[in-house]
Each structure stands twice: as structure tokens, then as C-alpha cells.
Amino acid sequence: MSPFPVRTLRTPEVSSLRRWLTALAVGFAAEGAIATVLILMQSQSVYGPLLLLVVACVLGWKFGRLRGPVAAVAPMVVFVIAELIRQALGGTGGADPVSTIVLGVSASLFIAFFAWIVGAMRHRYKPIGKAQEPTEPPAQRGASWRS
């Protein structure tokens, strides 16, 4: 017998708050980087905003059907608030605040739907944290593959 305690490998339990904060941090980092590049390059391209849909799908897949949409929409809310502040301070161009809010809400709902549907499909077909059950019994030695 060894006088030292036996160390076993175990996965640490991750708190719910930490999962929420991780999802929000990833969402803000990814969508913030896309928005920063679009603003700095003054791009009118369609492909930049389409990346927001890809990010929403990845967030939905990784963080599930509740945390994913929230993490995808939270940066959009901050972007809309920042745009409203820019318009109030007399920034150049832009639409009136009502159209900014309507556009922000509709874009947020669209992005949230993509994140939610991907998270729901992941939950349905590959649940997070559950072991996958084999669909077929293991093959026996010497048995034909058609048996």
C-alpha cells in the first residue's frame, strides 16, 4: 500500500454561470471581430453579414438551443444601442431611430432562429453530455457482415 492518496482523473463540473459567460464571450468576440473588420474596411459586401449567420449556427451547435441564440443576439443588441447612440450624437448619415430598432429586432430574430434551430437539431440528434447508444449490436467474430 502506498502512503500517497490515489489520484483519479475526473472531469471538473462546470457551473451553469461559467457556461453562460463562455457562450457570451465567444459570441461577443466572434461577432465583434466581424463588425470591426466591416467597419474598418468600410465594406458594402454581402459576405460579411452572412458570416454572422455562420457564427450563429456555430454558437447554436456548441452551446445548445438556449445559450446559443442568446450568445448570438446579445452582440446585436449592443450594436443597435451603439448605433442609436451614434445617431443621437449627430453621427453622419444613418436612418431614423425607429427604422434602426426595427432592423435590429428583425436581424436579431433571424439570427436567433438560425442559432436555435441548429441547437435544437443538435439536442435531438446528438445530445450534449450523453453517451451515444450504439444503433446496432457489435459484430460477432466470424459472423458475416450481413448476418
Count of residues in the chain: 147
pLDDT digits (tens, 9 = 90+) for 64-95: 999 999 999 999 999 999 989 988 888 666 67
pLDDT at 53 over 70: yes
Per-chain mean pLDDT for the chain:
84
- Give residue limits of the domains in the chain: 18-125
Residue 114: pLDDT over 70: yes
Q: What is the pLDDT of residue 123?
A: 87
Query: Residue type at 89?
Result: L
Asked if the model's pLDDT at residue 124 lies above 90, the reply is no
Give percent of the chain above pLDDT 70.
74
| Start-to-end CA span in the chain (Å) | 50
**Pure H helices in 42-88:** 47-88
Lowest mean pLDDT among 14-18, 31-35, 97-101: 14-18
Give the separation between CA 110 and CA 55, rounded to whole angstroms: 13
Cα 9 to Cα 5, 6, 54, 113, 128, distances in angstroms: 13, 10, 35, 39, 21
Instruction: Please give the model's pTM, rounded to 2 decimal places.
Output: 0.74
